[in-house]
Structure 1
Amino acid sequence: MATITLEQEINPWEAQAARFDFAARKLNLDEGLWKVLRYPSREIIVHFPVAMDDGRIEVFTGFRVQHSQARGPGKGGIRYSPDVNLDEVRALASWMTWKCAVVNIPFGGAKGGVICDPKKMSMGELERMTRRYTAEIIEFLGPEKDVPAPDMGTNEQVMAWIMDTYSMHMRQTVTSVVTGKPLNIGGSRGRKEATGRGIGIVCDEALRHLGMQRDGCRVIIQGFGNVGSNAARIMMEKGYKIIGIAEYDGGLYNPNGIDIDQLFEFRQRNGTVLGFRGAEAFDPHELLLTDCEILIPAATENVITSRNADRIKARVICEGANGPTTAVADEILADKKVFIIPDILANSGGVTASYFEWVQDRQGYFWKEALVNEQLESILAESFDDVVRYSEAHAVNNRIAAYMLAIDRVAFTIKQRGIYA
């Protein structure tokens, strides 16, 4: 792989671009299509006022980046965080393009965010901010244009506010403008658990491919939010042994396995995993380096880097988060023969179930959860096989294979459509 500077390693957009360039080169991608696909098609930055509870007027900065809409409307979450920045949103939007293409659903990639700290805002302030942000970018949203979803710092309530704001402007209820909504206003059964369930599905496929056994397979998960907790619960039910949970405020370790149902109830009551008696306290950074068969980074970007990759002991890394492994770390892990299930495949259960929700909203007909889970398993198992076959055919690692497969599909669509001039 091409040499990556330290700045590129920690910058998600530069890291994504480096991987794209490498995959495009392996594909011998046409130079014109290379230029089209390397950059987002639209970047929106808005600065908007919100009346706070104490009477102050605060001005917030929001983003919406649409990377590609060649295969369908843009699709991607909206995150609320003090750390949101344009490079991060750009990278996440492009990852969404490749993610949708890898699982072969008819969406392009988009992403949004607002610089704020939702933990320090009241529900009223969050609602006013969400509605004003939606109004600022409303001309770029729509079921056939760009369909947001929840992400870090947002949830189904935020999606309900966005849907309602959009609907008020359209003068009719438009449930399909967002996904990840509450069930009673057009949400889909199984959507909340889908990313975690998808991680379980691709881990099953990886063990089958590698000839490993599921029962007793030791798993360490970084992050116990929606993705990590659902992956832990579903995988425990399948027979995996969850021996470690790493959170931002501490970690837990039990070599005999952690009872995830009990841990989930403890966290619900106490707001933290710290103090749980079913496991010993453990340094969360050291947990990533602890012996296990499967490591699932399911929290944030850049947790496996050149500074710790050589000490990873896992046989399989399944990327529940977006961009948890840097490009430099990829090279180190490849030398160690670690089998990586890349983020654009591993955590695509969420966007796949979002596609199901969008379809159901547009049909006005809603599926039973068993059908959602059945369709999810079918799509992800087939996509895993597609990526592994591509990897073997082109003699590249799984991540580059996933990028090549996705770029090939998007580029083929653009060539079919032609360039409007």
Structure 2
Amino acid sequence: MKNNSIPNFKENVDAFVLKASKALKFSDDLIDHIRSTHSVLQVNVGIKIKNKIKNFTGWRAVHSEHRLPSKGGIRFSAEVNQDETEALAALMTYKCAVVDIPFGGSKGSLKIDPKQYSEEELKLITHIYAEKLIKKGFLSPAINVPAPDVGTGEREMVWIMDTYKNLFPNDINYLACVTGKPVAYGGIRGRAQATGRGVEESIREYLRHEQFYKRTKLNPDLSKNKIVIQGFGKVGKSLVEELFHRDHAKIIAIGEYNGYLYNEKGIDIDELVKHFQKNKNLKNFTGAKFIEKPAEVLTIACDILVPAALESVINMSNVEKIKAKLIVEAANGPITHDADEVLQKKGIDVLPDIYVNSGGVVVSYFEWVKNITHVRFGRLQRRYEENKMNELIQVIEDATGRSIPDKYKANIIHGVQEIDLVNSGLEDVMRETFKEIMKNMEIFKKKVSLRTATYAIALNKLKQYHKDMGVSNAH
């Protein structure tokens, strides 16, 4: 009889790390050192609301400072706890190492349901929480840089930045103390869509390689595959828009907390977005059937399944019902470690979260670099490039005696802008990282999963760091 108890998030991350360390034949002391959390700060945020003192517990976990600053989002949720925060911090260490972003791993959380408080109340709560982190050395452009996560967004990042600036008005790099800001406050174009676009790039890259799409019997043309998405939040929404507009993808189902939409012929995403913006709900959308059984969206027969919402949604209670050929982990930890073993035996490939959803931290890195250098990407070269291309077109037209059509001319002349460089950089990271994963699979003679090969990249880089920098010896 199967054990249907669901491991917690920390247990899953630890299990995946240990599996990769065994494949690499790491010593127990080394892997214990790599896995250990560097430090955790617990704070109490007390505030008087309606003549009653409310107390909120918050954490900032630093898993690794092998590279600085440490990086990771801040989550506002009634469900958070210290164990989960530490596990998410560890995931950030591995994620940054996998995609070659020079950050350590960190994560913050505040135990609060943000929907229960007004904007003014949340602003004050966020200021107090941020001030406590800053004063204890857990938030600064050089040491620890937060970003949005569940329950937070651009607004909260501006509040945190303002808190830091007021405490350290002489720090010229204050904009870099957080990422995920609005463009007007030092943010970068493309950051809001970065995680979703990164997920799309990971699918594209998988389908570029015959050895993978053949073994899972997928069509290399993305538009010819049936796709199911669980989650229509920040990541899920940006993902379906990228898939629909750039790849003409056939998305047959989209799930949310209260049910899912289903249309065998594919959902019109533009119409769905209009409906969702107006109603804040998938229900009553006329372009698909709404079924009030949210868990069932995961078991729909499809080619590509993308869990983009919650942790541990694929577990021992439903893994045998999964009918996808490829699972793409847009959410953090959507598959438990025991269910992952079952999927591997069934021949279902899993593109792991530490690769797939790294687009957010990749573009956060670009934003941090922009803030540290104090210059917008593309500002120095855009007009130069446009002028040179104009000259080249004039030479070609003079030499041939023929005019280049305006529709082609405008595209050729277009000088690179910030969004172009961000998207190009993100694509490069996702493509190069997948090639590294493939190389690892060859080293292991294809006896490991994509997940284990990906974790092995991170662990090898961390091992090399500890070898180069050393670990303190007792005297």
Structure 2 residue identity aligned to 1:405: I
Question: What's 2:287 paired with?
Answer: 278
Q: Which residue pairs with 2:411 in the alignment?
A: none
| Alignment partner of 1:356 is 2:366 | yes
Matching residue within 70, 77, 88 for 1:81: 77
2:421 corresponds, among 368, 371, 385, to 371
Deviation by residue 1:110-139 (Cα, 9 ceiling, x = unmatched): 111000000111001111111101111112
Question: What's 1:386 paired with?
Answer: 436
Return the alpha-carbon distance in structure 2 between the equivalents of residues 157 and 407 of structure 1.
Answer: 35
With normalisation by structure 1, the TM-score equals 0.96
Q: How does 1:184-223 map to 2 (within 5 A)?
A: 184-209=184-209, 210-211=213-214, 212=219, 213-223=221-231
Pick the structure with greater CA Rg.
2
Aligned counterparts, 1:66-215, within 5 A: 66-138=62-134, 139-172=137-170, 174-209=174-209, 210-211=213-214, 212=219, 213-215=221-223
Residues of 2 paired with 1:5 and 1:150: CA distance? 35
Name the structure 2 match of 1:397: 449
- What amino acid is the match of 2:192? K
Aligned to 1:268: 277
1:299 counterpart residue number: 309
SS at match of 2:275: helix
Q: Give the Cα–Cα distance (whole angstroms) in 2 for the partners of residues 5 and 35 of structure 1.
A: 27
CA contact (8 A) 1:51 1:125 kept: no
Aligned to 1:419: 471
The offset of 1:292, in angstroms, is 0.9
* Residues 186 and 371 in structure 2, CA contact (< 8 A), matched pair in contact too: yes
Partner Cα separation in structure 1 for residue 51 and residue 163 of structure 2: 23
Which residue does 1:242 correspond to in 2? 251
Shift of 1:186: 0.6
Cα separation, 2, equivalents of 1:109 and 1:415: 19
Matched residue type, 2:263? N
Matched position secondary structure for 2:251:
strand
**Which sits farther off after the overlay, 302-311 or 388-397?**
388-397
- Determine the structure 2 residue equivalent to 1:315: 325
Q: Displacement, 1:140?
A: 1.6
Task: Map Cα deviations across residues 279-317 of structure 1 (whole Å, 9 max, x no partner).
Answer: 001222111111111100000100000111111111111
> Per-residue deviation at 1:5?
7.4
Which letter maps to 2:13?
Q
Q: Tell me by how many angstroms 1:71 deviates.
A: 2.4
Q: How many residues align?
A: 416
- Matched AA of 1:121: Y
What's 2:43 paired with? Answer: 46
Give, as a single letter, the amino acid of the residue that structure 2 aligns with 1:130.
T
Q: Determine the C-alpha separation between the residues in 2 that align with 1:207 and 1:293.
A: 12
Deviations 1:65-100 (A, max 9, x none): 100110232111111111001111111111111100
| Structure 2 gap segments, 5+ residues each | 378-417
TM-score, scaled relative to structure 2? 0.85
Question: Aligned partner of 1:159: which letter?
Answer: M
* 1:134 maps to amino acid: A
Query: In 2, are the aligned partners of 1:316 and 1:340 still within 8 Å (CA)?
Result: yes
For residues 471 and 139 of structure 2, the distance between their equivalents in structure 1, rounded to whole angstroms, comes to 23
Cα distance in 2 for partners of 1:299, 1:407 equals 26
Say if 2:458 is the partner of 1:406.
yes
Tell me the secondary structure at the aligned position of residue 208 of structure 1. Answer: coil
Deviation digits for residues 356-397 of structure 1, max 9, x if unmatched? 000111011122101100010001111111112212321210
* Matched AA of 2:362: T
Say whether the 8 Å CA contact 2:20–2:455 is kept in structure 1.
yes
Counterpart-to-counterpart distance in 2, 1:80 and 1:140:
17
For residues 200 and 140 of structure 1, what CA distance do their matches in structure 2 show?
33
Q: Give secondary structure in 2 for the equivalent of 1:112.
A: strand
How far did residue 55 of structure 1 move?
Answer: 2.6
Q: CA RMSD in A?
A: 1.4
What is the CA–CA distance in structure 2 between the aligned matches of 1:416 and 1:362, rounded to whole Å? 27
Identity of aligned residues (%): 42
The separation in 2 between residues aligned to 1:35 and 1:279, in whole angstroms, is 50
**Quick one: distance in 1 between partners of 2:65 and 2:59?**
17
Structure 1 unmatched runs, 5+: none
CA distance in 1, matches of 2:333, 2:360: 16
2:261 to 248, 252, 262: 252
Letter in 2 for 1:99: K
Q: In the TM superposition, what is the alpha-carbon distance from 1:51 to its structure 2 partner?
A: 2.5
Give me the whole-angstrom Cα distance separating, in 2, the residues matched to 1:144 and 1:106: 12
Contact preservation (8 Å) 1:51, 1:128: no
